[in-house]
Each structure stands twice: as C-alpha cells, then as structure tokens.
Structure 1
C-alpha cells in the first residue's frame, strides 16, 4: 500500500482545499456563463466576424458563452478528480502513520 503513496499529508491537505475552492469557483463561473452574464463578455473569445455575421441575432455569441461554460464544468470535474486523489493520499498517510505505531 505504501507504493501508492506519492505525496505527504500537508500536500494532500493543500490539494483538498484547493480542489474544493476550484470546484466551487468553476461551477459558479459555468453557471454564470450559461445564463449569458453580461459582466463576463470580456472573457468570451469572439471576433469581429462573429458580431458581423448577423448583427440582429446574438446566437453566435450565446454559443460561445455556452462553450466557455462547458469548459468551466470540465475544469471543475478535473478538480473533483484531483480532490479525490488528494483525499486518498491523505487517507493513505493516516493509515501509514497508524501502522508505524
């Protein structure tokens, strides 16, 4: 079991805390991008061509908002995985500490 251990208890705890914050932050950003929040327009990667295609319809910009929102959800899922990995490392560290006594 010790061969699966690759980080110490402090690094594992740090990974858990950062993962929790990353999941919360990215999930909220994903929600705000999916509801097309105007405050986040600077973070949407659109070009002049996207605006000039059909200036009366914002569907092209909305599709870009949705894509950025989905990217946030994917990044949040990666943070969930990293958090679970850090949690497993913390448990293995506790187990090894208990076995050494």
Structure 2
C-alpha cells in the first residue's frame, strides 16, 4: 500500500538535500580514504591513541579509513532518503493527475 505522507514541496526539498548530501559525503569519504592531510583535525584522535602504540601512523590511517567508511554509509542513507522523496513526488503527481 502506497502512503502519501509529504507534499510536493517537501518531497522536492528532500530530493535536493539528499542530492547535496550524497555529493558532499561521497567526496568527504574519498578524501578520508586517501588520507588527506587537511582533514586530520576531523579525526577522533587522542594522546592515548598515539603514544602507547608502537606504530602510530597505522592507527591514524585506520582512523582515516573508519571515518571514510562512515561517510560512505551516511551517503547511502541519503540515497535512501532521496529515493523515498522521489517516490513521494511521483505519488503527489499521480494524486494531482487523478484529481483533475
């Protein structure tokens, strides 16, 4: 059963926001996976993570990869929201067609 729960403007807003979210998070994920030096401040690093570890760069690289994968997961959630918004847009168009 198809349920219409948002109007055409909210569905259009969801499409625009999810498109931007996918683009932004996919690029961030790529930059984190490639270990971009400009993003080191965004890593959840603490002194305890670096000093007892005999190989600190590997720990930093692991954190880069973990944050990059989290960005890709969030981008996938935005894809799902965008698909849901597209379905709502189609249902709104169908409702508009049937009313006329």
What are the ranges of 5 or more consecutive residues in structure 1 without an aligned counterpart?
none
- Counterpart position of 1:22: 21
Query: Alpha-carbon deviation of 1:97?
Result: 0.1
Query: Alpha-carbon deviation of 1:58?
Result: 0.2
**Cα distance between partner residues in 2 of 1:53 and 1:37:** 24
State the superposition RMSD in angstroms. 1.4
How many residue pairs align between the two structures?
Answer: 100
**Cα distance between partner residues in 2 of 1:57 and 1:10:** 50
In the superposition, the TM-score normalised over structure 2's length comes to 0.95
What are the ranges of 5 or more consecutive residues in structure 2 without an aligned counterpart?
none
Instruction: List 4+ stretches of structure 1 deviating above 2 A.
Output: 53-57
**Cα distance between partner residues in 1 of 2:26 and 2:50:** 28
What secondary structure is seen at the aligned counterpart in 1 of 2:51? Answer: helix
In the superposition, the TM-score normalised over structure 1's length comes to 0.94
